[in-house]
Structure 1
Amino acid sequence: MEEFFAQENQVITIVLIGVLMLLLMGVALLLFFFFSRKKIVEKELEKRNLEVTHQKEIIQSIIITQEEERKRIAQDLHDDISSKLNVINLNANLLKDGELSPEEYLIVNNGILEATDKTLESARKIAHNLLPPILEEFGFKDAVEELADTFNNSRKINIAYTINYPNKYLNPQNELHLFRITQELINNSVRHGKANNSTIHISQKNNKLIFSYTDNGIGFNTDNIDNKKGLGMKNIESRISLLNGQYSIGSEIGNGFKILIVIYPQDDEKN
């Protein structure tokens, strides 16, 4: 009988140990899943925070760019338009006084006509910078070709281009964004990259627009975040984001610069 109870106690002990181990395993699994889930949630929150920060940077870049553009326009209006209008106003008052000899009258009148012509030319340049007429009238392809040819004729940089762009593939606003990106890249090559040659390749493939730009300038260290996040690159990045695109850049000190932009047309742009 004692043996029976001893065996029964052993069984109970084994069962209790088994149950306890199962409970411990269950608790361990619960803790594992809890901390794993916690890490996943933390990673998701970190990712969301990075996305929010990135969006804030883009919005801030857009605002800064707009403010810089407003300042430039205000400066152009003050320097080019206001000064010439002052000349016209002064000469008009001389005519109003009527105390001029025929020769003086002719000189003042010619001065008004000359200042008027210069004012009109300045107004046309400002309007052209805001929205190039060729972009509105003939489209993106012709506008980029004219831009490249203008730089080629100025001999500041030689630009080779191949543009296979379907007419009106992007909506007018997005064509303007891509045109401004092209302008910014060329200006960066001339001002900062000290390049004398660059290339532009644009093509359409599998409902994606592929934009490639290279130059042979001095290049920069892409590991340096400040190089990537300068105002020029922030402006480009913000416009690429508005275009629903993605980009990658490559550069080394002494080995030029290159950027590849892939644009996925939005629903209202798909044929």
Structure 2
Amino acid sequence: MVEELSAQENSVVLMLLFATIFLTLVTLGLILFFYFSRKKVIQKEREKAELKIANQQKILETSIAIQELERKRIAQDLHDAISSKLNIVSLSTNVLLSDKKTTNKQKKTLEQILEITSTTLESSRKIAHDLLPPILDKFGLKAALEELFEDYCKNTQIDIQYDLEELEISKEKQLHLFRILQELVNNSIRHGKADELVVFLEENDNGYKLRYQDNGLGFDVEAVKKKAGIGMQNIMSRARILNGKFHYDSQIGKGSTFVIRSNYEKTH
């Protein structure tokens, strides 16, 4: 009788042991199932986010490319349509001024027309130059930036100290760097109210580094990270096109610093 009870107890213990093992395995299986399911969901969400970022980047790159094409078209129109016609007006006015039959009153009016025409012609040339600087295509980035900085120093109260090295990069990438610096200088003058800038562009073993610093009003870095303006978005987009790492720092009342580091393959 005792042996029968002992056998039953052993049987119950074994059943409980197997049941415990079974429940443990089921629980472990459910945990692993939910873990890998969750991991798969997270992976899918990450892929969707990366795809969204890639699409946004592609849209921004397309937008920038369209901007450059539009700038080129407007610059060409200014040169071909407006500047050429203004030159004709200027030449015709000079012919009338040299005519002996022209009265003094008429000459005064013609001189005013000539002055307005010359001023408008110079403005249209400057706008066309800003839209598409010919020196960039002919002589490269270093020469174009030197001209840009000299123009700013001549026509504004700003002082720009710079040290630039020639980079062996494509014309397209040179244009992106030129636009980035153009945007930074405009922001420093208009929004930062800066009167001193320091710009370094130098090669290193693997690529190049651009460092830009102003003594302007500065800005709230966290606010810009949450919502960047169009100018800053364009700068960041161009930096990504250059495969560059873009970093900026600023303090209210203590100016701003912008750094772009990029690797590139030299062209020969």
- TM-score w.r.t. the length of structure 2 is 0.75
Could you say which residue in structure 2 is the equivalent of 1:148? 149
Report if aligned partners of 1:218, 1:253 keep a CA contact under 8 Å in 2: yes
**Number of matched residues?**
260
Report how far residue 214 of structure 1 moved.
0.5
After the TM superposition, list the runs of 4 or more consecutive aligned residues in structure 1 that deviate by more than 3 angstroms: 50-56, 63-92, 105-108, 110-127, 225-228
Superposed displacement of residue 33, structure 1? 2.3
From 18, 39, 52, the equivalent of 1:49 is 52
Going from structure 1 to structure 2, the CA distance change for 1:192 and 1:71 (only over 3 Å counts) comes to farther
Determine the structure 1 residue equivalent to 2:212: 213
Contact 2:209 2:260 in 1 (8 A): yes
Please, which runs of 5 or more residues in structure 2 have no aligned partner? none
How far the C-alpha of 1:123 sits from its partner, in A, is 5.8
| Residues 83-139 of structure 1: per-residue CA shift (max 9 Å, x gap) | 8368469869x98xxxxx73329969x879988877765664344234323323322
1:31 aligned onto 2:40: no
Q: What is the alpha-carbon distance in structure 2 between the residues aligned to residue 197 and residue 227 of structure 1?
A: 28
Deviation per CA, 1:177-215: give whole Å up to 9, x if none. Answer: 211211221121111111110100011112121001010
* Residue equivalent to 2:256: 257
SS in 2 for 1:223: helix
Amino acid at match of 1:17: T
- 1:98 counterpart residue number: none
**How far 1:221 moved relative to its partner?**
1.0
Match of 2:101 in 1: 103
Identity, % of aligned pairs? 32
User: Scaled by the length of structure 1, what TM-score is found?
Assistant: 0.75
CA–CA separation in structure 2 for the residues paired with 1:82 and 1:270: 38
Distance (whole Å) between structure 2 residues aligned to residue 235 and residue 24 of structure 1: 52
Match of 2:221, SS state, is: coil
Q: Which runs of 5+ in 1 are unaligned?
A: 96-100
Specify which of 4, 12, 18 is matched with residue 2 of structure 1.
4
**1:19: Cα distance to partner?**
2.5
Structure 1 counterpart of 2:172: 173
Q: 2:267, 2:72 → 1: CA distance? A: 33
CA RMSD in angstroms, aligned pairs only: 4.2
